[in-house]
Chain A
Amino acid sequence: MELFRDTNFDFLGKKKIFIVLSVVLLIAGITSLVMKGGPRYGIDFRGGAQVYAKFASKPPVNEIRNSIGAKVPGNVSVQELTGDNEVIIATELREEAELETIRQTIFDTLEAQFGGGGDKPDLNTISSELLADRLAVPLTRNGVNINDEERKTLAQAIVVFRDTNRSGILSSVGELSAVVGVNEGVRKTLEEEFSIGTFTIRQVEVVGPKVGEDLRRQAILATLYALGGMLVYIAFRFEWIYGVAAVLAVFHDVLITLGLFSIFDKEISLTVIAAFLTLVGYSMNDTIVIFDRIRENLKITRREPFPDTINKSVNQTLSRTVMTSGLTFMTCLALFLFGGPVLNGFAFALVCGIVVGTYSSIFIASPVLAYWRHMMDARKGPAKPARSRA
C-alpha cells in the first residue's frame, strides 16, 4: 500500500496559513498564561501538600472542601478526577514542619468524616501489620486457632486483595470470602472488630519550599542546556542556520503546548516535564529528517531555486512523516485514553506535541531556512543561484 507517491504539494506556498495558525495558538496560549498568572504548576514545583483520595462512590466534593478548609490554613482546593471517584486535595505552600501537620490533619479529617466511624479501625485504611496485630486477640476469642505466622499471612492476603482486586476500597466484609483463609470465623471477627469506611488514600505528596524551588530551577536548566547541545550538534553537522531553525521550531512547539496546558487547565508536574522532553526529542527528529533530505537534494540539484528544493524534500519525506507521526500519535492516543489518571497530563502533552511538532518541521523550520537564504541572496545580488556549503 502506498498513500503518497510522487506528491508535489507546494508546502512553502501554504506556509502563511500555518504561520497564522501558530500565531493564533501562541497568542491564545500566552493570553491564557498571562490571565492565569503563569503556568499551573503541579505540587512538584509549587510545593505544598497534596492528597489523592479515592471514594467508594461519587465523592462529596463540597463537603470535603468545607470540612478540610475549616481546619487547614490557607486556600484548600478539592478537585474531582472525572470517572474515577477520586479527588485531589491540595493545600498552599507552608514551612516544612507545618506541612507535616497539615497532612496529618487531612488524614484525620477524612477518617473522622468518611471512615468507618466509631473506635473500630477502618479496614480500608489499615495496613497489613496493624490488621494482623488487631486480629490476634479477637480471632482466638471467636475460636479461630491459627498461629502468628498464619495470622500475618492472612492479614497480608486481605490487604493485597483490597488493593489489587478492589482498587483499595472494600464495600463489605462479604467481598473477602474470595480470599484464601477467610472462613466463617474470620469473617465474623472482621465484622465485629473492624469498620468499613468509604475512602482510601491513593497518593500523598508533600513538597517543602526548599525542594520545590530547586526542582523547578533544575528542570528548566536541564531543558535549556539540552536544547543548546542540540543546536551545537546540528550547526556542526549542517550549517548554523539549520540549528537555529530547528531550535526555533522546537521552542515554538514547547510554547504552544505550554499554552494548551494553560487553556485546558492542566498541571505542569515533573512527569509532564518528561513528556515535554519527549516532544522536544520527537520534533527535533522530525526536523532533522527533512533537513537531511534538503542537504542531500542540494548536492544533487544545485541550480534549482531553494524554495523548490525545500518543497521537493518535504514531498519526498511526506510519506515517512505521515507514517511516523501517525503511528506515534496513535501510541500516545492509546496512552491518553487507557493510561489512567496518573499518565493523563503526560499523554496530553505528547498528543498535542506530536501534532504541533510535525507541522512545525514543515511550516516553521523550513520557512526559516528559505527566508534566511532569500535574505542572503538579496544581499549578494539576485542573479546568483542558491548554493550550499554543506
Chain B
Amino acid sequence: MKRSLQTRAAIIVAVILLSVYGIVGLPTSPGDILKNMQENIKLGLDLKGGSHLILQVQVQDAIKGEADQVIQRLRDDLAKQNVRYTSIDRNDPTSIAEADNLRISIKGIELNDAGNFRDVIGRNYTPWNIRTESSTDYTLELKESELIALKSDTVSRSLNTIEQRVNGLGLSEPTIQLHGRADAQFEILVQLPGVEDPARVKKIIGTAAVLELTDVKDGPFASRQLALSQHGGVLPLGTKLVQERPQPGQARDGGSFYLVSRTPVVTGRDLRNARASRDEFNRWETAFTLTQEAASRFGRFTESNVGNRLSVILDNQIVNVATIQSRIDDSGRITGLSGEQESTDLALVLRAGSLPAGIQYLEERTVGPSLGADSIRSGFVATVVGLILVVIIMLAYYRGAGVNATVVLVLNAVMLMACLAYFGAVLTLPGIAGVILTIGMAVDSNVLIFERIREELRGGKAVSAAIDLGFKKAFLTIIDTHVTTVVSCAFLFMFGTGPVRGFAVTLVIGLIANLFTAVFVSRWLFDWGLFRRRDAAAISI
C-alpha cells in the first residue's frame, strides 16, 4: 500500500512540476513569472486584439500581364518575319472564374503568310495553343498545364512579397500562410496580433508597388481630352497617358496628365535598396539605389537626356516629374510625401518588390487593443467568480472531499494551460468555451465519484471498500461521457473551421487532463487520507 502510494505520488509530482514548468518556465524573479506566463500561453486575436485578414490573389491579373508581354513579343517577332496582320488583341477577364478564358486574337493574317505565322507560334510560343477561327483570324490560348503553373506561381510570389512586407513592419509574430479553407481559391491568411493601425497595414499589403522611371514626352495637360487633341486624337506610338497623383488635400481626380514613354528606363525590379530619409528642407522622402546593371543603363540614359524630363510613376500614377540636370548613376528619390510614415511605408513596399497580381480582401476581423484588454479583464473576473462559487459550494457540500475536488480542479486547469503552452496552441474565445465545458465535466466527475461513495457508505460498506467501489462504478460512467465528447470533438476538428477547431482542441486536452486528475489524483488523495489515519471509520464526504 505504502509503496504504491509513493509511486503514484511521484508520478503526480512529476506531472505537476512539468505543468508548472510549461506555464512559467524557470523564473529567476517574481516579475518573471507573469512575463513567462504571457509568453507561453498565447492569446488569440479575439482576446488580445489584432487583425485577421483573408485575401484573394486576383490571378487573372497575372495571366493578363503574361498575355500583354506575349502580345508585345509577338508584334516584334511578326515584324521581323514580315508577317502582316491587322490587329492583335486580348479579351479582358475580370474575375478569377473567368481567368481561364483568356484569349489572344490575331486578325488579318494573309493566306501566304499563314505558314510563316504558324512557324513563329510553334517555335517561340510553346505554352500557347493555336486555334484557327477563319482563313485569316487565329486565337491563342494558354495550355491547361501552363495556366495551373502560372496561377500557383502567382500565388506563391504574392505570398512571398506580402510576407516580406509584413515582416518589414516589425510586428510580433505575424502569420502569413496559404488559407486552408476547403474550397479556398488562391487565398492567403494574414494574422497580425496586436496591430494598432490595421488600415495602414492593409494598404501596405495591398499596394501593387509597381515603380517605373520613364522619360516624359509631353505635358502637363489639364485633361485626357486635351492631351489627345494636342496629338491629333491618337497617342503617338509607344507612349501612354498617365495622371499625376493627387497631392495631400487635393481632390481625388485633380492631377494633370503627362504623355510618357511606354517602356520605362528603370523599374522596381532594378532596385537594390530603398529607405526613408529627409531632404535639405527636412521634408520626408524615399530614397532608392539601383543595382549595378541598372545603374549603368540609367547613367547612359540620363547622360544623353540632360535637359529632358523624367517621371517617377508608382502604380500608374505620376509621383514626381523632374528635369535631368546631369548624369545620374545609381540613386533616386521620391518626394512630395505626407510624412515619415508614408516614406517608411513606401520604402518598405519598394524593398519587398511589387505584387504579381492585385489582391482583394475577402474577410477582415479586427479587435481593437482597448476591447482586447476589456475582454481579458471581464473574462478573468467571470472565471474567478465562477470558480470561487464552485469551490465554496463543493467545500460546503462535501466538506473534506470538497478539498480533494478543489485540488483536482485547480490541477486540471493548470494541466490544461500547460498543454496549450507545450503544443503552442492559442487560447481564443471559443477555446474558453472548451475550458468552461472542461470545468463543468471535471466538477461532474468529482460529483459522480463522491455521490457513489456516499451511496456505498449508506449501504453499510466500510470506508476503504466504499471508496474502492465508488471509484470503480463511477469510472465506467466517466469513460462513457468522456469518450462520447472526444468522438464529437474529433468530428468537429475534422470538419470545422478555425474557431470550432479551437474549441475541440481545448476540450480534448481538458478531458484527458480530467481523466488523470479526477480519477488518478483524486483516488490518491483519498488513499493517502486513509493511510494517514489507518483506523479511520469515517471520511469527511
Contacts and interface: CB of A to CB of B under 8 A. Distances in A.
Interface of A: 1-2, 5-6, 52, 54, 96-97, 100, 103-104, 107, 127-130, 133-134, 136, 159-160, 162-164, 166-169, 200-208, 210-211, 214-215, 218-219, 221-223, 225-230, 232-234, 237, 270-271, 273-275, 277-278, 280-282, 284-285, 288-289, 292-293, 296, 316-317, 319-320, 323-324, 326-328, 330-332, 334-335, 337-340, 342-343, 346-347, 350
A296 B473 contact: yes
A229 B361 contact: no
A280 B485 CA distance: 9
B119 interface: no
B366 A203 contact: yes
Given A229-B487, A277-B492, A350-B436, A331 B390 contact: yes
B172 interface: no
6 contacts: A164-B373, A225-B492, A226-B489, A234-B484, A278-B433, A346-B429
A271 B451 contact: no
Given A129-B197, A162-B370, A214-B183, A237 B382 contact: no
B370 A164 contact: yes
B364 A324 contact: no
A316 B440 contact: no
Interface stretch (B126-134, B207-215, B496-504): B496-504
B328 to A, nearest CB: 30
Given A316-B455, A334-B386, A130 B378 contact: no
Contacts of A5: 458
Interface in B466-518: 473, 476-477, 480-481, 483-485, 487-492, 494-497, 499-500, 503, 507
B492 A342 contact: no
B462 interface: no
Contacts of A205: 364-366
B495 A218 contact: yes
Q: Identify the interface centre among A226, A270, A274, A338: most chain B CB within 10 Å of its CB.
A: A274
Interface stretch (B17-25, B234-242, B441-449): B441-449
Nearest to B497: A218
B371 interface: yes
A235 to B, nearest CB: 11
Given A130-B341, A211-B362, A219 B500 contact: yes
Contact of A289 (B196, B363, B477, B485): B477
Interface in B219-262: none
Contacts of B182: 214, 218
B340 A133 contact: yes
Contact of B389 (A219, A271, A273, A330): A330
B433 A320 contact: no
A338 B492 contact: no
B430 interface: yes
Contact of A324 (B198, B367, B440): B440
A350 B154 CA distance: 46
B332 interface: no
B476 to A, nearest CB: 6
Interface string B420-434: 000000000110111
B440 A128 contact: no
Given A168-B369, A208-B363, 5 more contacts: A129-B197, A130-B197, A284-B484, A324-B440, A331-B390
Q: Identify the interface centre among B371, B398, B503: most chain A CB within 10 Å of its CB.
A: B371
Interface string B358-397: 0011111111111101110111011101110110011011
A206 B198 CA distance: 13
A104 B199 CA distance: 9
A282 B433 CA distance: 11
A52 to B, nearest CB: 7
A162 B196 CA distance: 13
A230 B487 CA distance: 6
A203 B360 contact: no
Nearest to B360: A96
Contacts of A104: 199
A127 B196 contact: yes
Given A316-B455, A340-B374, A289 B481 contact: yes
A107 B378 CA distance: 27
A136 B492 contact: no
